Amino acid sequence: MTSHRSDTYPTVRLHIAGEWRDSGAGRSAPVVNPATEEAIGTVPLATTADLDDALVAAEDGFRTWRSTPVGRRTEILHRAADLITERAADIGRVMTLEGGKPLKEAVGEAKRTADTLRWHIEDARRAYGRSIPAAPGTLLTVRREPIGPVAAFVPWNFPVGGPNRKISSALAAGCSMVIKASEETPATAAALVACYADAGLPAGVLNLVFGEPADVSTHLIASPVTRLVAFTGSVPVGKLIAAKAGEVMKPSLMELGGHAPVVVCADADPVKAARRAAQAKFFNAGQVCTSPSRFLVHESLYEAFVAEFVKATEEVVIGDGLDPATTMGPLANERRLVAAERLTADAVSRGATVRTGGLRPGKAGYFFAPTVLTDVPADAQIMSEEPFAPLAPIVPFSDLDEALGVANSLPFGLAAYGFTESAATAEKLSAGLEAGILSINHCGGSVHEAPSGGVKDSGYGREGGPEALDAYLVTKRVSHKLD
C-alpha cells in the first residue's frame, strides 16, 4: 500500500514479512468500480511461493509477538487504532470506489473499526488465568495463551470492518496472522494493514495476501504453521473450509450467512417497525449477513406495515456512493445483480406482487432498485435463499407460534428481529427464535462490546465481546509440585 491520497485509487500489493511486494509471478486481476463497471486498478494474486513466505513470516512473527510485553503490544495496537481514525476519510473513499457503498457509510465503518480494535486491546489485558486450591505443596493454575499463527479469510461486504474483527482479536491475544482479503476490495484491506505496519507492528505478525480463493485456502489451512482457521462468508464455502480444517485437526471460527426473519407482532407499532426495518434492509444495499430478509407481519398490521415500508423504500436515493445525496449504492459485483434479478423474477413467476422496485435502473453500474414483494408464496426461492440484495419479501401471519415456526424452518440461525410492545411477547421471541443474534424493536447491527455469531448452519464461535478472544487463546492447566 503506497498511497493515502483520497483522489486516486492506490497501487495494491501483498504485505509479507513487513514488506509490500508484488506477486512472485506478476499475476494480477482487475478491480472494478461497481458504480461504473470500469476497471480502476489491479490486485496481485499470490503464488504458492508467496504463501510459503507469508507462512514463514507468520511463524517468525508469532515468536516475536507473543514474547513482546503486553504493555508494548498495547502501545502499538493503540497507535494503529489512532491511524485508522486519522485515515478514515481516505479509507472510506477507497472503499466506496471498489465496493460501492455510500461514502458516509464507508467512513463510518472505518471509524467503528478503530473502536473495535480499542475494545479488543483492552479486553485482552484481562485474559486472566486462575489459581485453583490444591493439595499442600502443589500449585494448580490455569493459563490463557495465544494459540499461534492464524489463517483468516474474509469477504468484500465490509472491507475494513470484516478483516479487522479477526485481526484485532488475534493480535490483541498475541497471535500472528496470514489474512486473505477479498480480491474485489483489496485496497481497503491494504489500507487497514498499512495502519498496523505504520504503527510499528513487528514484521511478520500481520501478512496480507490475495489470490485464487480455493488454492489459497487449501495451502494455508494444510500448513503445519497454521494453528487456527477463521472464516467469514457463505454457508457452502464455510462448510468446505471447516471440512479442510477438520481433516488436519485445526480448530476453526465460522461466521457464516443467514436469512434473518423479522417478526412483527400484533401489538407492535407498524409504522415504527416498518421504518426501522426498511432502514436496516437497505443498509449496504442489503449485502449484510445479518440483514433482515424475511418479513413476517401479523395480519392485523399487514397493510399498514407494507404501506409505510413501501414509502420508506421509495425515499431511498440510489446512486454513486461518492455523491453525497446517495443513500444506497450499487451491488458490489455482477453476481449479486444477477441473483437479485433471478430471485425477483422467480417470486413474480410464482404469484408475488412487486409493490415497488423490481428493476435495474439504467444500464451502467450494478444497481438494483430497492424492492418490496408481497403475496410471496412459501416455495419462492427468496423465502429460503439468502438474497444479499435490496429485496424485501413481506408475508402475513395470524398466529405467533406459526410465525416462529416459519422463522425457524430454515437451516440458518444467524440473526433475527422482533417488534412488540409487550414484555411477555418479547420474552417469547427471545426464547423462541433460533438465532445467535436477536434484536427487539430495532434491527441494529453488531457492536464490539457484545458477541456475534450464529447457530445451526450459520456457524460457530463468536466475534465481539469478551467471547471474541476465546478462539485465539488456548487454556493450559499447570500442576506444579513444589517438593
* Residues 392/316, Cβ–Cβ less than 8 Å: no
In a domain, 367, yes or no: yes
Q: What is the CATH number of the domain that holds 295?
A: 3.40.309.10
Q: Is the pLDDT of residue 3 over 50?
A: no
Q: Is the pLDDT of residue 162 over 50?
A: yes
In a domain, 2, yes or no: no
Q: What is the CATH number of the domain that holds 25?
A: 3.40.605.10
By three-state DSSP, how is residue 276 classified? helix
What is the per-residue pLDDT for 445? 83
Domain identity same for 430 and 466: no
What is the per-residue pLDDT for 114? 97
Domain identity same for 140 and 105: yes
pLDDT digits (tens, 9 = 90+) for 189-227: 999 999 999 999 999 999 999 999 999 999 999 999 999
In a domain, 137, yes or no: yes
| DSSP letter assigned to residue 463 | B
Domain identity same for 293 and 331: yes
Q: Which domain holds residue 362?
A: 260-447
What is the per-residue pLDDT for 449? 93
- Over residues 314-337, the mean pLDDT reads 97
Domain identity same for 131 and 55: yes
3-state secondary structure 137-157: CEEEEEEEEECCCEEEECCCC
How many independent structural domains does the chain possess? 2
In a domain, 463, yes or no: yes
Q: Is the pLDDT of residue 127 over 60?
A: yes
Residue (of 474, 462, 478) closest to 146 by Cα position: 474
- Over residues 356-362, the mean pLDDT reads 94
Q: Is the pLDDT of residue 362 over 90?
A: no
State how far the Cα of 394 lies from the Cα of 374, in Å rounded to an integer: 5
Domain identity same for 242 and 283: no
What DSSP element (H or E) covers 473? Answer: strand 473-481
Domain identity same for 32 and 144: yes
Domain identity same for 218 and 176: yes
**What whole-number percentage of the chain has pLDDT above 70?**
99
In a domain, 8, yes or no: no
pLDDT digits (tens, 9 = 90+) for 431-483: 999 999 999 999 988 899 999 999 999 999 999 999 999 999 999 999 999 98
pLDDT digits (tens, 9 = 90+) for 58-104: 999 999 999 999 999 999 999 999 999 999 999 999 999 999 999 99
Domain identity same for 66 and 172: yes
By three-state DSSP, how is residue 52 classified? helix
Domain identity same for 353 and 435: yes
What DSSP element (H or E) covers 132? Answer: strand 130-132
Domain identity same for 235 and 279: no
Q: Which residues contact 183 (CB under 8 A, 6 or more apart)?
A: 29, 31, 43, 45, 210, 211
- Over residues 368-377, the mean pLDDT reads 97
Active site residues: 255, 289
Domain identity same for 381 and 467: no
68: left (phi over 0), alpha (psi -120 to 50) or beta: beta
Domain identity same for 119 and 188: yes
What is the per-residue pLDDT for 8? 86
